[in-house]
Amino acid sequence: MYLYFRYMKYIWCILFLILTCQNPNKMSESYFEHLTPEEKSVIVDKGTEAPFTGEYNDFFEVGIFVCRACNNPLYESSAKFDAGCGWPAFDKVKKGAVNRYSDMSLGYERTEITCARCDGHLGHVFEGENLTPENTRHCVNSISVRFVAYEKLSVATFAAGCFWGVEELFRKQAGVYSTSVGYIGGQTNMPSYKQVCSGTTGHAEAVQVHFNAEEVNYETLLNIFWDNHDPTSLNRQGPDEGSQYRSAIFYHSEEHKNIAEESKNTLDSSERFPKPIVTEIVPATTFYRAEEYHQKYLYKRGASRCSL
């Protein structure tokens, strides 16, 4: 009898483990009660929204993407890139935020990704495409996530010649959350790189920097700007000539305007440069994000400086 109860104890323990561990992240209906039928069709029923239709496909604001069902933090906006696939793409995920499952629904193996908290369907993950240094693409349905903006970050925009090298300088600075290269200060809507290079749009190649002012101040960013280009050269930096390569600070607040002007005046009076500084200090206007192949150009190629 003793052996009988002893064995039954083991059997019940094994059954309990099987029942509870088959799917440790089994969907809980409470997470999905507030979803619309369209959201449930993707998150619960593992559907896929049509490409190029999701609200976050062409979206590059600064913040965090959370699970639409349970608000689990999933992806930092700094990990988002334009893969050209029609769905939001991320090359990094917050640690422990997603589950991975084998998916044979199309007749070949893919890797499905779901929210680690509620197990809601997000999309699929692909590796080995060499689109970014992380070599990973989380292909996510817009309808599966929700964006929450970061209000604690400050923004600064600088033009100092070819934006490839300028971006890499700021990207490596501690306290900088994200960098984007693009076009600002012109009169053409949605300009292309080819249009800007023609010098007819009035835009400057620029880098927009989002930073945590508690970790790095605006003065430090200004020093990086002054130290790494020639602010006395009008519409030219090295071999690059044209108004698109002008030296400019596009300020986003009166405080930054005052700091930039004081910094410029101090440098001008210090005789550090042999000629007067010609850097423009003007209000920030619409910043148009450049084509994806320009973003983090040097970082993607493992380079630390431009070598044209």
DSSP codes of every residue in 31-59: GTTT--HHHHHHHTT---PPTT-STTTT-
List all residues 6 or more positions away from 55 whose beta carbon is below 8 Å from its beta carbon. Answer: 142
The torsion region of residue 235 among left (phi > 0), alpha (psi -120 to 50) and beta comes to: left
Return the half-sphere exposure (C-beta side, CA atoms, 13 A cut-off) of residue 7. Answer: 4
Rounded Cα distance between 58 and 81, Å, is 9
162 belongs to the catalytic site: yes
- The residue annotated as part of the active site, out of 67, 115, 162, 306, is 162
CA 294, CA 182: separation in Å to the nearest integer? Answer: 9
The DSSP code for 291 is: P
197 is catalytic: no
Distance (Å, whole) CA 119 – CA 31: 10
Distances (CA, A) of 178 to 26, 145, 201, 253: 35, 20, 26, 19
Catalytic residue among 67, 85, 139, 306: 139
Distance CA 121, CA 114 (A): 5
**Which residue type occupies 233?**
S
Cα dist from 289 to 22, 59, 69, 187, whole Å? 45, 10, 30, 15
Q: Please state at what angle helix 163-171 crosses helix 218-227, rounded to 10 degrees.
A: 140
* Residue 166: CB atoms within 10 Å: 25
Catalytic residues: 139, 162
